[in-house]
Amino acid sequence: MAEELPPIPDCDQCFGCGPANPFGLHPRFRVEGTTVTAEFYARPEHQGFPGLVQGGVLAAMLDEVMAHAVWAEGVFTVTGRLEVFFRHPTPIQTPLRAIGEVVARRPRVYETRGRLLLPDGRVAVEGTGTFVVVPEGRFGRALEASQV
């Protein structure tokens, strides 16, 4: 049975996962065994070419589901690398199923994979990501320009 994943603290305005961002993606993540899933419905403000979801929005959703696969283990991370493959055009206002999982763990680094599925089960987008553990006390704190 799927269990809803609690939100990441202090991320209410996050474009990818924040419930308070009016332009955000607004997924609700669930843990299903070793994977994290979410339903995603691209709205008209997420459009790229006429009638299609903008690729960066799809990449953001893929990034979110993979990051939340790590968060399901209680670990705060940031994206270190994201590789995205666009397999099928994705129409606006089409429900997508996002699936992410951790495939490898090293000290301070998590390797993940994810995909976004169209309603007929075809893979619209898939990819991999490397997520880096955020040092204690640094998560959610604005970085100074000298630290970037």
Beta bridge partners of 39: 97
pLDDT of residue 142 exceeding 60, the answer is: no
Q: What is the DSSP letter of 44?
A: G
Give the tens place of pLDDT for each residue, 20-41: 888 888 898 999 999 999 999 9
Domain boundary assignment for the chain: 3-138
Calculate what percentage of the chain has a pLDDT beyond 70. 91
Average pLDDT of the segment spanning 114-137: 93
Phi, psi values for residue 112, rounded to 5°: -135, 165
Contact predicate 60/16, CB 8 Å = yes
**Residue bearing tokens 């670990």:** 75
Q: What gap in Å lies between CA 87 and CA 33, rounded to an integer?
A: 26
**Residue bearing tokens 């609700």:** 28
pLDDT given for residue 148 in this prediction: 45
- Which one of 3.40.50.10880, 3.30.390.50, 3.40.50.300, 3.10.129.10 gives the CATH number of domain 3-138? 3.10.129.10
